[in-house]
Structure 1
Amino acid sequence: MTEQAKVPAIRFAGFTDPWEQRKFSDIVDVCSGKDYKHLEEGPIPVYGTGGFMTSVDEALSYDRDAVGIGRKGTIDKPYLLKAPFWTVDTLFYAIPKSDMDLEFVHCSFLNVDWKSKDESTGLPSLSKEAINETIALVPSFNEQSRLGEFFSDLDSLITLHQRKYDKLVVFKKSMLEKMFPKDGESVPEIRFAGFTDPWEQRKLG
């Protein structure tokens, strides 16, 4: 994003207007999380700075999605919160204004160096004021939507490949156990066709 032109280096075709500089207070409503221990068990997910924690019977937001951002502890890992949800008191939830696309807002949060806004000498902490005063560059709603959809698709692709990776890691671990002889044995449980000789026991040296 060039400062003078206020436009990104790469852009979808058809969009030419400069992006508008706005404070986060103009694009989201930052709300505070609360303690959940007085609630009963239920279907509503409870989130903290590290993600999902438990489920309860009430929600802080029943029908409005938001971006979760840490108040204390992990303050630089914003993530999407799909309604209904509850957040603990160490996690703010930022609800986009009516003219803002949720996925675009999430990307805007990801583009901020939140650690530089840490207001504590001990456990990292973030205030509503620090979030509200942060400056973002914002395009038209149509361009927000295109950008939000693009990065959402990328996230889905990353998740898909992450699942494949996780499965391959488990598969490799299983094959290492089955394709090498167990203690006290001289042949593995699974073997390539054509190999029948016992394995030789030798010192690594």
Structure 2
Amino acid sequence: MSNTQTKNVPELRFPGFEGEWEEKKLGDLIKVNSGKDYKHLEKGDIPVYGTGGYMTSVSEPLSEIDAVGIGRKGTINKPYLLEAPFWTVDTLFYCTPKKETDILFILSLFRKINWKVYDESTGVPSLSKQTINKINRFVPSNKEQQKIGEFFIKLDRQLN
């Protein structure tokens, strides 16, 4: 059976990788964490992010693990990489990888999702942890995730 006949095998692939990709829920790949208020913290050198990006800097991190930020309220369709250490406000989820999941692959995966389809509001765009966790996507092995993630981050850096 050719790659075009099989739904869970990509048409374009890096050399050395074969086999089918496995369908998984995002909740099996990542942990969706909530941001928090930062106003009780002192100024510092830890960046604070919201749905619009960098806001200020504080003295303590909320996370020591690289993550993908995705809006909970407001801008829900512009995921971006959060390099640890960082803090996020409550309008921004930060998604950390579970075992055998590459964060750069998750970033590229998130950028391909039409998040507006999952908008749960009638006013300000909104997402919930439950909605994010239920989304199904096909994913490769961890080694192939790393190769794909590295490729797209290098491409991103070349274009920006």
| TM-score of the superposed pair, with normalisation by structure 1 | 0.75
The reply to whether residue 124 of structure 1 matches residue 114 of structure 2 is: no
Could you tell me which residue of structure 2 aligns to residue 37 of structure 1? 39
Identity rate, percent: 59
SS in 1 for 2:69: strand
Aligned counterparts of 2:109 and 2:103: Cα–Cα separation in 1: 10
Could you tell me which residue of structure 1 aligns to residue 95 of structure 2? 94
The reply to whether residue 54 of structure 1 matches residue 56 of structure 2 is: yes
Aligned counterparts of 2:5 and 2:140: Cα–Cα separation in 1: 14
**Count of residue pairs the alignment pairs up:** 158
Aligned counterparts of 2:5 and 2:142: Cα–Cα separation in 1: 21
Q: Which amino acid aligns with 2:128?
A: S
Could you tell me which residue of structure 2 aligns to residue 75 of structure 1? 76
**Gap runs ≥5 in structure 1:** 160-205
1:124, distance to aligned residue in structure 2 (A): 0.3
Does 1-10 or 148-157 show the bigger shift?
Answer: 1-10
Aligned counterparts of 1:88 and 1:113: Cα–Cα separation in 2: 23
1:2, distance to aligned residue in structure 2 (A): 5.7
SS in 1 for 2:44: coil
| TM-score of the superposed pair, with normalisation by structure 2 | 0.95
SS in 1 for 2:156: helix
Aligned counterparts of 2:63 and 2:81: Cα–Cα separation in 1: 13
Could you tell me which residue of structure 1 aligns to residue 110 of structure 2? 109
Instruction: Determine which structure has greater relative contact order: mean sequence separation of CA pairs < 8 Å that are 6+ residues apart, divided by chain length.
Output: 2
SS in 2 for 1:42: strand
SS in 2 for 1:106: helix
The CA deviation string for residues 23-64 of structure 1, in whole angstroms up to 9 with x for no partner, is: 0000000000001111110110000001000000111102x1
1:156, distance to aligned residue in structure 2 (A): 1.0
Aligned counterparts of 2:142 and 2:23: Cα–Cα separation in 1: 14
Could you tell me which residue of structure 2 aligns to residue 28 of structure 1? 30
- 1:41/1:3 CA distance change after superposition, 3 Å: farther
CA RMSD of aligned residues (A): 1.3
Could you tell me which residue of structure 2 aligns to residue 157 of structure 1? 158
Q: Structure 1 stretches (4+) deviating beyond 6 angstroms?
A: none
Which of the pair has more CA radius of gyration? Answer: 1
Aligned counterparts of 1:21 and 1:3: Cα–Cα separation in 2: 16
